Structure 1
């Protein structure tokens, strides 16, 4: 009898293990890779019936996978909440929850040229020195890319260095692939693609989010609030910097204006991913919960509590 009960118990466990978990596909900004990895573990521990499958990329690239390529995704989290507004709402998302903040920084390694003398006051001058190489992500694919350019434009005014932006980048009003100076600037699709290269000493300095620099143990410069895009204290000055990126259709442009860094998250929808998926709703609510916010703060990001929500968020009970 005992053997029979034991056999039945083992069969039940095996049957349970074989039950397919419901997948939750999450597209998110590269800068969210570390906190979302931890959120994934905590979420699956609380909801073992789900299997979170994350895919990191530049935020704009992630949105276009949903809206233009038609890939199935249940959740989209962007390093710039405006990406959701511009590329997903209203056809591929019904709401936008602003849930986290960040700031720009300059990362480097002990092997970077002039690493022993660079600081928050002299970095623009060091960037322009012969032999110094600088990396940033593609502004048409990743918010960190156009924020790098906006920071450079703000720095030109803040530090009173005429022509700093043109001398360093020379992109004009918009960036096109191939325009970077191969001897001075390195560009990759998203900021996290550049981490391995700086650690391999392929270049010297990286425009990156402060949270990512901290997560990866890089040395970094904390920029003055006037140029770091940290908060609304300097909103008026931030707005003086503008840069054009590719629009929804070829040949069109969206003008990005300097502003405080705010992340957004939404439930995504298209023909392959219906908007009423229960797992997606639970995941978004978990990110917005006290536990989710705790994980974000632990990984170097500020949080917006409660989240600022626009659009029809009835699906998540807001």
Structure 2
């Protein structure tokens, strides 16, 4: 994968991100004991760094309530709640419809949309593939030339970023007349089962690029190639176009393409519902913490769905 004598940069966040990546099996912040003065947040893996390093500590400092975060692909975490293997106070999804269709009405009856994102390509500029992307070659031609495993996507059966990568390939196929592009890329790409670790392969030199959200590239300090609105899932004006493509997960859940919007709720029956509501309020009151780390908070947000508790909706 080497591109001549290019730089072999290693990023100073690696140790932190390795810890975040391990959160699929435990709390990132370590065991916080059985004390009640904490809020347990089960969130989309793409938010691991911004929540663990920035929002969580800021909330803990201001509210005096300890933050305990755990991160998985959104589809996986919905299944954990449905199967009652996880009992968080707050749930945060990278797909608003996924949360509503999987958790309403048994586990939630309201949610709030609070941030958006864009899908693009993070890359290693020292790799041949990354170098060609940096040089401005059409991304779809570059990825079509990549060898097996050089391009990474997260697992489409576990999280929205994974199935959005697949849908992106299909939308690009239609946009640019690339017959068979979706199938080719799905067969060729490496599927990372832990969304939080998606870019670790780029840092380690094992992957040339990865389809990811913009904030994830910012978290890791790697170059990011933005893509056109026609298939970056960032522009609500293109929602009708995004909806034309679908993916069915291994557990039979069929999703249509949609703009990337994050939503949060306090789980019905949460052990620390008051702490959960305090955390959601803090999240909405600190949009700058999200915007500083690659997310977008447009004027249209926050946007409520259902009937939130009195006072929480401002």
Normalised-by-shorter TM-score class:
0.7 to 0.9
User: Are 1:128 and 2:171 an aligned pair?
Assistant: no
Moved more, 97-106 or 110-119: 110-119
Question: Which deviations, in whole Å up to 9, do the C-alpha atoms of 1:193-236 show, x marking residues without a partner?
Answer: 22211211212120100111122111121101111011112222
CA distance in 1, matches of 2:190, 2:160: 16
Give how far 1:262 is off.
Answer: 0.7
Pair 1:130–1:141, CA change in 2 (3 A) = closer
Pair 1:311–1:256, CA change in 2 (3 A) = same
Query: Are the counterparts in 2 of residues 23 and 53 from structure 1 also a CA contact under 8 Å?
Result: yes
Instruction: Please tell me whether Structure 1 or Structure 2 has the larger radius of gyration of its CA atoms.
Output: 1
CA distance in 2, matches of 1:125, 1:284: 42
Name the residue aligned to 1:263. Answer: 262
User: Are 1:42 and 2:58 an aligned pair?
Assistant: yes
Give how far 1:84 is off.
Answer: 1.1
CA distance in 2, matches of 1:117, 1:20: 52
* Residue-pair matches, total: 276
CA distance in 1, matches of 2:35, 2:247: 47
Query: Are the counterparts in 2 of residues 21 and 51 from structure 1 also a CA contact under 8 Å?
Result: no
SS where residue 227 of structure 1 aligns? coil
User: Are 1:296 and 2:290 an aligned pair?
Assistant: yes
Query: Are the counterparts in 1 of residues 120 and 213 from structure 2 also a CA contact under 8 Å?
Result: yes
Query: Are the counterparts in 1 of residues 130 and 209 from structure 2 also a CA contact under 8 Å?
Result: no
User: Are 1:191 and 2:187 an aligned pair?
Assistant: no
Name the residue aligned to 1:14. Answer: none
Residue ranges of structure 1 left out of the alignment (5+ in a row) = 1-18, 170-180, 248-252
Normalising by structure 2, report the TM-score. 0.82
Aligned ranges 1:93-104 → 2 under 5 Å: 93-104=108-119
SS where residue 314 of structure 1 aligns? coil
Name the residue aligned to 1:222. Answer: 226
Residue ranges of structure 2 left out of the alignment (5+ in a row) = 1-33
Q: 1:211 aligns with which of 196, 207, 215?
A: 215
Give how far 1:130 is off.
Answer: 5.2
User: Are 1:81 and 2:76 an aligned pair?
Assistant: no
Name the residue aligned to 2:8. Answer: none
Query: Are the counterparts in 1 of residues 243 and 256 from structure 2 also a CA contact under 8 Å?
Result: yes
Normalising by structure 1, report the TM-score. 0.81
Pair 1:304–1:115, CA change in 2 (3 A) = closer
Give how far 1:192 is off.
Answer: 2.2
Q: 1:55 aligns with which of 70, 73, 76?
A: 70
The alignment's C-alpha RMSD in Å is 2.0
Q: Quick check: which one's strand share is greater?
A: 1
